[in-house]
Chains A and B, each alone.
Chain A
């Protein structure tokens, strides 16, 4: 069961189309997994839709409709659904909004190992300011203690981890910023797969971590 949801203001920014792409990816993926937040976003969109209908209309130029009708000739009405092109594991683990950012199945992504703790596959966002990655965390591993220079959004896709007193399971959303220092511990029984979105590199705070900080690439 999902117990950690994005804060309401982030859902609202998403529904308004005001989030950056990376955060929007985390929210959209959570929303695809969480009926409660899906309902909230639908409600916010319903308000936006009602307000759209109330916008003061601005007259289109002469011939705008004729132009649109002309273009329809080259355009078919699409069928309701496109064919799937992922294997069952990938389709079953990765919700649709996130799947569109994958270059292939989970097993064939360009995973990069970061020490023995985790593997990371970076996702293609339009800008460079924000980084979004899939991370596979080894069962039972202790992530390096770290704090944040910006925001860190984590969405659990499979497996789980504990962070202090809190347990995170598939669908759970975790938002951290400069105010938080934490050290997640991955559950013993299985690998944990997460979507992680960062708008600045994390800052390691352990003794060894401090030596590694200058080498953390973003």
Chain B
């Protein structure tokens, strides 16, 4: 069992690090948390060698999470699974655009699933200023240090998220998982818009503390 589940069980747990035994089994089957370095190697193997085994390993790790992510959006299991499939196929096609000095693999995949979700469930276009295309293509001569900084920052955020108060987590989940704007969250929770704004700001400010210099 990975440390996340143990920590969650001890503290009562946050909704998505559920210590429910059934989910533990799924987690174990889907593999415990993998380091960003390992995930980067898998994406790179796809980009460089069209490595199908690397794709299969990424799929086993991310597809169930992406399906879970789709379910949180409130769509049925079939649609959630299709979202996971489509996202993973895009991961394959776009692997060469992934730049490990700018984002972790999970952040990159979030931007892909976010766009797929809009495309599939909202059926509108989405103007992307995204990590994969906004700037120059990944360069060969980039300092490896930058990748390390991004990886460490990703790990720091993952740990810091677990320390957020419940009401901040709840709102971040509504934004990221349920695709709700500040305004929609305020209406749904019958909270003043200002309260929603400040909770999200507080949560993000707290997470940013965990980021090293230059990424703060």
Contact = CB atoms under 8 A, between A and B. Distances in A.
Given A47-B161, A54-B4, A61-B81, A9 B33 contact: no
B107 A48 contact: yes
Given A52-B113, A67-B85, A18 B125 contact: no
Contacts of B64: 57-60
Nearest to B137: A80
A39 B94 CA distance: 22
A16 interface: yes
Nearest to A82: B133
Interface string A33-54: 0000011011111111111111
Interface in B132-158: 133-134, 137-138, 153-154, 157-158
A31 interface: yes
- From DSSP, what is the main secondary structure of chain B's interface residues? helix
B3 to A, nearest CB: 13
A217 interface: no
A41 B208 contact: no
A65 interface: yes
Contacts of A53: 33, 65, 106, 158
A56 B66 CA distance: 9
Interface string B74-108: 00010011001100110011111100001110111
A186 to B, nearest CB: 26
Q: Which of the four size classes fits the interface of chain B?
A: 35 or more
Contact of A51 (B23, B126, B133, B176): B176
A167 interface: no
Interface residues of A, number: 63
Contacts of A46: 103-104, 107, 153-154, 157
A164 interface: no
Contacts of A18: 175, 179-181, 184
A76 B46 CA distance: 10
Contacts of B69: 52, 55
A65 B60 contact: yes
Contact of B67 (A43, A48, A60, A98): A60
Contacts of A42: 102-103, 107, 131
Given A42-B131, A52-B110, A77 B47 contact: yes
A54 B208 contact: no
Contacts of A50: 104, 106-107, 154, 157-158, 161
B129 A57 contact: no
A127 interface: yes
A78 B55 contact: no
Contact of B55 (A12, A41, A69): A69
Contacts of B52: 69, 72
Interface of A: 8-9, 12-13, 16-21, 24-25, 27-29, 31-32, 38-39, 41-61, 64-65, 67-69, 71-72, 75-81, 95-98, 100-101, 125-127
Q: Considering the complex of A and B, which 8 residue pairs feature the smallest CB-CB distances, nearest first?
A: A49-B107, A57-B64, A126-B124, A80-B137, A28-B129, A17-B114, A49-B106, A28-B127
